[in-house]
Amino acid sequence: MTQPGTTGSARPAAETGPPAVPPAAAGDGRTEGRARPRLNRLDSLTGLRFPAALLVFFSHVGLPIPQLRLLEDDAFAMDLLKVTEHAGAVGVAFFFVLSGFVLTWSAREKDTAPAFWRRRFVKIYPNYVVTWALALVVFAGAFTPAGTATANLFMVHVWVPDFDLLYSVNPPSWSLGCELVFYACFPLLHRLFLRIRPDRLLYWIAGTAVAIMATPLVSYALLPDGPGLQLTAEPSGVSAEQYWFSYFLPPVRLLDFALGILVALAVRHGRWWNIGIVSSSVLLAVGYVLSSQVPLLYGQRSLTIVPIMFLIAAAATADVRGRSSVLRSRTMVWLGEISFAFYLVHFVVLAGGRKLLGDTLYSTGETAGLVGALLAVSVLASWALYALVERPITRRWSTSRRRRASLAAD
């Protein structure tokens, strides 16, 4: 799920290059900021990426399906599902908002749409193809029709409300189908949003956030009811069409991406009320706890989107101001750099590990040890994918030969 978009240590890796204009200082407890700080690396945002990816990892660990389940105790397996059932939704929403934020923050003043799309393609698609092939070899090839695999390869599987297609090959890959639409729209959206007066940005942000939170209401009201999908520990009461519209459909998830763009502009113009990383994290934790107390779609789309945008803005503000943070440690930044690879490879490791272990189920202690081992393997595999595929291809192919010659001449 960038993963959806990516940030790097030297600058937002969702896009290379520094911001075209030095961002105005974000307000701290107010909406106005006057000082213009030096350009900073967004290391805290990079460091936040891995915890977000871990939410997706543990959401899959908690699924009591034969392809992944390790726990023998049925009651504990259901308890684990209750704890993790909304974790993946939070992680994906975080990456969607973050993608819009970092692409806006690092937008190049004289960039062209083709140049932007080229950089996005070489950043995202090689990792995607490698993990697509690994998933087919390790577990998915035995039951995936050729047409389904082809749709997944071209990232168009997210457009049909068919869960066999949506979760085909490498299940987390559906979010990349949304990111493809985001990247296609970004040059136009960015140009349009730049026309918004800075003093009106907060109104646009509030309207976009409300639209996201209202998505379930639209879905429940306008789309047909049907057999409730068994997506959580309790029957969801949600039809496939309702869930697809609210959670998967790219034009609907484009709202998350647009929110990230608007928040980035507000932070840059000093039109943001910064509540800090700690307060934002507490707000997010409260939203997550409450998400299990409301109908499924509201839990996944409505209760955590505001804390997510506050957390992203707070982390960026901390970086702009050069404040110390554990998120900016070398380890956290490194984990953040490999988080896109981790997002794509972890399900392959989990499913492959379950396949190697056979049908045996395990005690709670044994399961904890196995999950720790699978997490370590996922991190190592992500590092390899990042070092051998993502980084060298990005460095070599992000800029055309003509552009490199032009930069050299300058």
**pLDDT for 275:** 94
**pLDDT for 225:** 84
* Cβ atoms of 16 and 352 closer than 8 Å: no
Predicted confidence (pLDDT) at residue 348 exceeds the cutoff of 70: yes
Predicted confidence (pLDDT) at residue 402 exceeds the cutoff of 70: no
Regarding predicted confidence, which is higher, 256 or 328?
256
* Cβ atoms of 37 and 68 closer than 8 Å: no
Bridge partners (DSSP) listed for residue 71: 362
Q: What is the distance between the alpha carbons of residues 277 and 346, in angstroms, rounded to a whole number?
A: 27
Regarding predicted confidence, which is higher, 86 or 409?
86
**pLDDT for 16:** 34
Q: Mean of the pLDDT values across residues 184-209?
A: 97
With cut-offs at 50, 70 and 90, classify the pLDDT of residue 323: confident
Predicted confidence (pLDDT) at residue 281 exceeds the cutoff of 80: yes
**pLDDT for 230:** 60
Q: Among residues of the chain, what percentage have pLDDT more than 90?
A: 77
Predicted confidence (pLDDT) at residue 31 exceeds the cutoff of 50: no
- Letter for the amino acid at 279? S
Cβ neighbour number for residue 62 with a 10 Å cutoff: 23
With cut-offs at 50, 70 and 90, classify the pLDDT of residue 345: very high
Q: Mean of the pLDDT values across residues 254-283?
A: 96
The residues, ordered by sequence, that sit 6+ positions from 75 with a Cβ below 8 Å of its Cβ are none
**pLDDT for 324:** 80
With cut-offs at 50, 70 and 90, classify the pLDDT of residue 142: very high
Q: The whole model's pTM is what?
A: 0.89
Predicted confidence (pLDDT) at residue 199 exceeds the cutoff of 60: yes
- Letter for the amino acid at 344? L
pLDDT digits (tens, 9 = 90+) for 86-123: 999 999 999 999 999 999 999 988 889 999 999 999 99
**pLDDT for 110:** 84
* Cβ atoms of 316 and 268 closer than 8 Å: no
Q: Among residues of the chain, what percentage have pLDDT more than 70?
A: 85
Listed as own residue / partner, the contacts of 378-383 with beta carbons closer than 8 Å and 24 or more positions apart are 378/57, 378/342, 378/345, 378/346, 378/349, 378/350, 379/335, 379/338, 379/342, 381/341, 381/345, 381/348, 381/349, 382/338, 382/339, 382/341, 382/342, 382/345, 382/346, 383/338, 383/341
Predicted confidence (pLDDT) at residue 176 exceeds the cutoff of 60: yes
**pLDDT for 109:** 83
**pLDDT for 326:** 87
**pLDDT for 228:** 63
Regarding predicted confidence, which is higher, 227 or 157?
157
What's the whole-number average pLDDT of the chain? 88
